[in-house]
Chains A and B, each alone.
Chain A
Amino acid sequence: MSAAPLLRVEDLAVSFRTEEGVVRAVDGVSLELSRGEVLAIVGESGSGKSVTAMSLMGLTRSANTQLSGRAFLEETELIGASDDELRRVRGAEIAMIFQDPMTSLDPVYRVGAQIVEQIQAHLPVPDREARERATRLLERVGIPRAGERFDSYPHEFSGGMRQRVMIAMALSCGPSVLIADEPTTALDVTIEAQILDRIKQLRDEAGAGVILVTHDLGVVADIADRVAVMYAGRIVEQGTVEELFYDPLHPYTWGLLGSIARVDRDRPARLPSIAGMPPSMHDKPAGCHFRPRCPHEFARCGEAPALEARGSGEAHHLDRCWLTADEKRRRREVGGQIGLAAKGAAS
C-alpha cells in the first residue's frame, strides 16, 4: 500500500431515527482504499454495508440521520462537507453504481441525455462535445451501436445493458473512487462476469479505487484485493482476499465461507448455513454482536472486542474475536473444511 491512501474512513457511524427508536446502522467503521485497489465489503442484508457506501456519497443525509466520523478523499473531508461541497465531489471524484439497474435510470429521459447531464454538472463542455463523450463512454462499456443507442430510453434496454449505462455514467467524469453497491445482484451470471470485467478494466485503465459492496463471495474471490466483513454495523474482520479465504479469523467469516456452494467438492445433503438470525438493529447484544449465533462463545465475549491485529500473522489482518490465534485455527475446521459448527455442538 502506498503511503497516502486515496480514501480514508475513520470511525464512521450512521444512526437513523425511526418510529421504534434510534437505529445505529453503522457503528464505527474505519477503512482505507488505495489507487487501483478493489476493496470488498461483505455481509448479510442489514449488516450496514450499503449504508456505509451510501454515507460516503452523502446519500443517507436527511433530517432523521445522524452521521459522525470522518472520511477523507485525499484532502477533502466528506462526512462534514456542506451539501454544495459534496455535490461537486459526487459524480466527479466519487461515483456510484447501484444494485438495481432496472429502477436506477430515470424512465423519462434518453440514456445518453442522462450521461450528458452528469458530464455537464461538473464540466463546462458544450452539448456537442458532451454528446460525443457520452457516446464514447457507451462504446467503452460495450454497448453496440452506441451512437444510435444514445437516443434510446431506459425501458428499451435489458438489465445488463442498463447497468452498463450506469457504469458509463459513473465513469463519465473520470472518478478516482468508484463505489459499486451490489452491482450484479439483479443480473444473471454471464452478465455478471461482463460487468465485473468492466469494473476491473476501469481499475486498471484509470487507476481508480473501487469499493465493492456485495454478499457474493464468488464475486469477492474474482475481483477483490482486500475484504472487510461486516456484521451488525461493525467490521468484524478485514484483510487481503487470500487471508480471508485461506486464513479466516472470525467465526462469522467461517460461517460465510462454510455456506458457499462449491462445484469442486461433493455436494452436501444440505447446504450449511449460520444458525439464527442477524440481531435486530434496535436491540443488539452487548459485547460481541455475533455471540448469540456463535458456537465458540465464552465468558469474555460479553465484552466487545476491538478490531485489531490479534497476533496471528500480518499486521493488517484485523478481526474482532477473543479466541486465541491457535484456537481459531483449530476450531474453524469442520469436517476438514472451514466452517462454523452448529451452535451447542462445538466443544
Chain B
Amino acid sequence: MARFALRRLLSMVFVMFACSVLVFLIFNVIPNGDPAVRMAGKVPTETQIEAIRAEWGFDDPIWVQYWTTMEKVFTGDLVSYFTQSNVVEEIANRAPRTFALAIGAAVIWMLFGVAFGLFSAVKAGKFADRGLTVLALIGISMPVFWIGALMNYYLGFKAGLFPNGGYVPFTESPIQWLWHLILPWTALSILFIGFYSRVLRSDVLDTMNEDFVRTARAKGLSERQVLVRHVLRNSLIPITTLWGLDFGFVLGGGAILTESVFNLQGVGQYAADAIGQLDQPPIMAVTLFAAFFIVFVNAIVDVVYAGLDPRIRLQ
C-alpha cells in the first residue's frame, strides 16, 4: 500500500509537470498571445508595451517565465493578467461550486446508469430494452449547452420552477443550494446516464454467459440473487474505471459547458473565461488543479477496484 501510494504520488507529480509545460508552451506560440500587447490598452505606444514586458517579466527566457509562474502558483501569489485578481484565491472560492456539481452529478449518473443498464440487460431484446436504447442514444446525442439552455428557459425562466442559473452556498441555505443544483446535475448527468447504461448493459449481458452464473443458478439461488450478487457485482468492475476517469474530469473543472450554461461560477467556467481572454495565469492554475484531481481520483478508483476484484493487487 505504501509503495502504491508513493508510485501514484510520483506519477501525479509527473503528470502535473507535463501538463503545465505543455499548456505553457501552447500559450506562448498561439497568435495574438502576447500578453503585454493585450494588457497595454487599445492604442499603446511601443514604450508602454516594453514597460509592461519588463514589469511582468515577459522578456525573460521562456523557462524563467515558466519557473516564476509555477513558483507563484505554489506560493499563492499568482495574479490574472487582466483582472489582477489572485488566481489561487479565485480557484479556492470557485472549487466548492465545481465539487458540488461534480459529486452530485457523478452519484446521479452512476446510480441511474447502473439501474437503466441492468434493467435493459434483463429485458434484452424486449420492448423496454429497445425503448431505453433509444432514450440512451437521445441522451448521448443531446449537447449539454442545448439541453441546459432549454431547461433554463422552460423550467427556470418560463415556468419559474427552478432558479435561472446561479449558485447559493450550502452553508447559506441548504435548500436553495439543492434548488440551484438540480438542473445542472440533471443536464450534466443525462449524457453520462445514456453512455453508462449502454456500457453496463453489455457488461451484464457478457457476465450472464459466465460459467459462475450458471453455477449460481445451479446452487438454487433466486434469479434476483443471481443477478445482484453475481452478475451485477462482476459487471461493476469495468464501469468503475470509466466512472473514475469521468468523475476526475468533472471534478477538475471539466464540466465547462454545464458550469457556464447555469452560471455556476465554478472552476470550469473560470477556465472558460480565462481562455476567452487568453489569460495565462488562471489557465496554468486550472490545468494543475484538473490534472491533480484526475490523477487523484484515479488512484482512489484503483483502491476501490482492488476491493471489488480480489484478483487485482495494488502495486
Q: What is A's interface to B at a CB cutoff of 8 Å?
A: 57-59, 83-84, 87-92, 95-96, 98, 100, 103-108, 117-118, 121-122, 153, 155, 166, 169, 173
Q: Mark B217-240, 1 if CB is under 8 A from A, else 0.
A: 111111101000110011001000
Using known A-B contacts A121-B221, A169-B219, determine if residue A108 contacts B308 with beta carbons closer than 8 Å: yes
A103-B212 in contact (CB<8A) = yes
Closest to A92 in B: B220
Using known A-B contacts A87-B220, A92-B220, determine if residue A103 contacts B211 with beta carbons closer than 8 Å: yes
Using known A-B contacts A105-B212, A107-B311, A108-B308, determine if residue A83 contacts B220 with beta carbons closer than 8 Å: no
A104-B310 in contact (CB<8A) = no
Q: Mark B152-174, 1 if CB is under 8 A from A, else 0.
A: 00000000000000000000000
A90-B219 in contact (CB<8A) = yes
Expressed in whole angstroms, the Cα–Cα distance for A119 and B17 within the complex equals 55
Closest to B308 in A: A108
Is B215 interfacial (CB-CB < 8 Å)? Answer: yes
Q: How many residues of B contact A (CB 8 A)?
A: 23
B221-A155 in contact (CB<8A) = no
A121-B310 in contact (CB<8A) = no
CB distance from B238 to the nearest CB of A (A): 13
Is B34 interfacial (CB-CB < 8 Å)? Answer: no
Number of A-B contacts (CB under 8 A): 74
Is B37 interfacial (CB-CB < 8 Å)? Answer: no
Using known A-B contacts A98-B211, A103-B212, determine if residue A121 contacts B220 with beta carbons closer than 8 Å: yes
B220-A106 in contact (CB<8A) = no
Closest to A103 in B: B211
CB distance from B137 to the nearest CB of A (A): 25
A108-B234 in contact (CB<8A) = yes
Q: Within 8 Å CB of B220, what residues of A?
A: 87-92, 118, 121-122, 173
B310-A103 in contact (CB<8A) = no
A59-B219 in contact (CB<8A) = no
Is B59 interfacial (CB-CB < 8 Å)? Answer: no
Q: Within 8 Å CB of A153, what residues of B?
A: 310-311
Q: Mark B1-44, 1 if CB is under 8 A from A, else 0.
A: 00000000000000000000000000000000000000000000
Q: Within 8 Å CB of A89, what residues of B?
A: 220
B223-A83 in contact (CB<8A) = yes
Expressed in whole angstroms, the Cα–Cα distance for A108 and B240 within the complex equals 15
Q: Within 8 Å CB of A155, what residues of B?
A: 310-311
Q: Within 8 Å CB of B206, what residues of A?
A: none
Q: Mark B41-66, 1 if CB is under 8 A from A, else 0.
A: 00000000000000000000000000
> Known pairs A90-B219, A91-B219, A103-B211. 17 more at Cβ < 8 A?
A59-B214, A87-B220, A89-B220, A92-B220, A98-B215, A100-B211, A103-B212, A106-B215, A106-B230, A106-B234, A107-B309, A108-B308, A108-B309, A117-B219, A122-B220, A153-B311, A166-B215
Closest to B215 in A: A104
Q: Within 8 Å CB of B216, what residues of A?
A: 106
A107-B219 in contact (CB<8A) = no
Expressed in whole angstroms, the Cα–Cα distance for A176 and B218 within the complex equals 15
Closest to A99 in B: B211
Q: Within 8 Å CB of B309, what residues of A?
A: 107-108
Q: Within 8 Å CB of B225, what residues of A?
A: 121
